[in-house]
Amino acid sequence: MNVHDKTGGTPGVSSVAKLMLEGKACDMPVRSGTIGPDVIDVAKLYKDTGCFTYDPGFTSTANCVSRITYIDGDAGVLLYRGYPIDQLAQDASFLETCYLLMHGELPTAEQYVKFKKTITNHTMVHEQMTKFFTGFRRDAHPMAVMVGVVGALSAFYHDSTDINDAHQRQIASHRMIAKMPTIAAMAYKYSIGQPFIYPRNDLDFASNFLQMCFAVPCEPYEINPVMSRALDRIFILHADHEQNASTSTVRLAGSSGANPFACVAAGIACLWGPAHGGANEAALQMLEEIGTVDRIPEYIAKAKDKNSGFRLMGFGHRVYKNYDPRAKVMQATCHEVLDALGKKNEPLLAVAMELERIALHDPYFIEKKLYPNIDFYSGITLKAMGFPTSMFTVLFAIARTVGWISQWREMIEDPEQRIGRPRQLYLGEPKRDFVKFDKRT
């Protein structure tokens, strides 16, 4: 295939790629983004050649145009609507970041006050939703509860499920962002047998979530400002990440016209996997299993042994082939929280830092460009804050809801988008006739 500059003047087309297949030429437009890799538009390939492209895992496939998040994996860059993640983590609030991801610009002071009030006023859930929880075992994994209860929101909020109505899409978006912390806190309280704590309209997003999780009716709950700011920053770090597995799940579900609550429930289910959002829970379990610094070499060896089936959880990334910029902020936040809680001698932190130091100097990890990702330090931080391991991916889901919703809205409003329906390379049986019982050997 070669690329030459004959564009035919099609907008967005920067050049044309020519594919020669069995003597036949197939011209495919090459489109350029604002920044980042060009794309070869193969939409007409099957019609022109009778062939599909084949890319399991979508390692070289762009499935949409987006203006929300940009990642440069080689440079370790992450931009939300053009703003670097480290600047947002430093200077923005999570709700400011939610506004930015949804609307494309940082809110003015007036827009922020209005948005914050809107979200605050949607934090309660229908009182009858509390009945769902009694159907679960107390030891149910909270992610299983989240999938069920968030999916059930579409049974309560019929007035915001018409995806073709922009106003209903807006209300559904606000409801999703606002109610996720409330449902997550209810899942946690149910698992420990404590009464649900209602949201409070006088608190900010992160403080409200902390009090819904850790307050009890018998005494006042005092918000620790260091914890609240750290949690708000953790939510910013996890808010969106381009076309990751769970976001792609939400987009695919949304492409069929499914309502936003059902799409987010599908995203939660996908995020639960240990290769994706479940890695923060798996990473902490791995650090606890390693236990002490002297056992690290044994686990490094296992991670390098293909037959072991073991991987260093919290390491590696499909896109980042450099340090995940979120992991750097997460590591700093981890130290800040442990210091504030007087836990800086946390043994797991020592294991994590030594494991990182060894891995970053090991030829296997260097050659495969395996660096810590956002999940490597988040578990230690959340454990120190008092969250059980099973709640780590739930917190990831709370934050990622704004990313899922923003990408879902962009997909609905994209004139190029149609129902997602990939094809396959078929290696099964060719056509054969049915054989009756008495003829089968």
User: Which is the catalytic residue, given 141, 232, 317, 324?
Assistant: 317
Among residue numbers 32 through 71, which ones bind ligand SDX (CB under 6 A)? 57
Mark residues 318-347: x for contact with ligand SDX by CB under 6 A, - for none.
xx----------------------------
Minimum CB–partner distance for residue 275 and ligand SDX (Å): 4
Number of residues that bind ligand SDX (CB under 6 A): 23
Among 149, 375, 385, 398, binds ligand SDX (CB under 6 A): 375
> Which lies closer to ligand SDX via its Cβ, residue 52 or residue 58?
58
Indicate the residue among 20 and 275 with the shorter CB distance to ligand SDX. 275
Q: From the CA atom positions of the chain, what is the Rg in Å?
A: 24
Cβ proximity to ligand SDX, 261 vs 392, nearer residue = 392
Question: Counting contacts by CB under 6 A, is residue 314 touching ligand SDX?
Answer: yes
Closer CB to ligand SDX, 186 or 374, in the complex: 374
The pair phi, psi for residue 404, each rounded to 5°, is: -60, -45
Q: Does 316 bind ligand SDX (CB under 6 A)?
A: yes
- Residue closer to ligand SDX by CB (options 56, 428) is 56
Q: Taking the complex as a whole, how short is the minimal distance between the CB of residue 315 and ligand SDX, in angstroms?
A: 4
To ligand SDX, the closest distance from the beta carbon of 358 in angstroms equals: 13
| Contact between 376 and 352 (Cβ < 8 Å) | yes
Catalytic site residue 317? Answer: yes
Nearer to ligand SDX, 303 or 355 (CB): 303
Candidate residues 172, 206, 313, 399; the one interacting with ligand SDX per rule CB under 6 A: 313
Q: Report the C-alpha gap between 122 and 160 in whole angstroms.
A: 13
Q: Which stretch binds ligand SDX (CB under 6 A): 34-42, 149-157, 212-220, 317-325?
A: 317-325
Angle between helices 260-271 and 166-191 (to 10 degrees): 40
List the one residue out of 205, 190, 260 whose CA is nearest residue 404. 260
From candidates 16, 42, 125, 312, binder to ligand SDX by CB under 6 A: 312
Kindly state the smallest distance separating residue 226's Cβ from ligand SDX, in Å.
25
**Residue 159 Cβ, how far from ligand SDX at the closest point, in Å?**
31
CA distances from 169 to 38, 84, 161, 255 (A): 31, 28, 7, 14
Q: Which is nearer to ligand SDX, 69 or 191 (CB)?
A: 69
Considering the complex, what minimum distance in angstroms separates the CB of residue 311 from ligand SDX? 4
Q: From the CB of 392, what's the least distance to ligand SDX, in Å?
A: 12
Please confirm, yes or no, whether 335 is among the known catalytic residues.
no
Per-residue x/- marks for ligand SDX, 259-288, CB under 6 A? ----------------xxx-x---------
List 232, 240, 324, 375, catalytic entry: 375
Q: Which of residues 219-248 bind ligand SDX (CB under 6 A)?
A: 241, 244-245
* CA atoms of 314 and 299, how far apart (whole Å): 14
Residue 186 CB, nearest approach to ligand SDX (Å)? 25
3-state SS of the chain is CEEECCCCCCCCEEEEEEEEECCEEEEEEEECCCCCCCEECCCCHHHHHCCCCCCHHHCCCCCCCCCCEEEECCCCEEEECCEEHHHHHHHCCHHHHHHHHHHCCCCCHHHHHHHHHHHHCCCCCCHHHHHHHCCCCCCCCHHHHHHHHHHHHHHCCHHHCCCCCHHHHHHHHHHHHHHHHHHHHHHHHHHCCCCCCCCCCCCCHHHHHHHHHHCECCECCCCCHHHHHHHHHHHHHCCCCCCCHHHHHHHHHHHCCCCHHHHHHHHHHHHCCCCCCCHHHHHHHHHHHHCCHHHHHHHHHHHHCHHHCCCCCCECCCCCCCCCHHHHHHHHHHHHHHHHCCCCCCHHHHHHHHHHHHHHCCHHHHHCCCCECCHHHHHHHHHHCCCCHHHHHHHHHHHHHHHHHHHHHHHHHCCCCCCCCCCCCCCCCCCCCCCCHHHCC
Range in contact with ligand SDX (rule: CB under 6 A) among 8-16, 175-183, 305-313, 416-424: 305-313
317 in contact with ligand SDX (CB under 6 A): yes
Residue ranges binding ligand SDX (CB under 6 A)? 57, 241, 244-245, 275-277, 279, 303, 311-319, 368, 370, 373-375
**Catalytic residues, which ones?**
317, 375
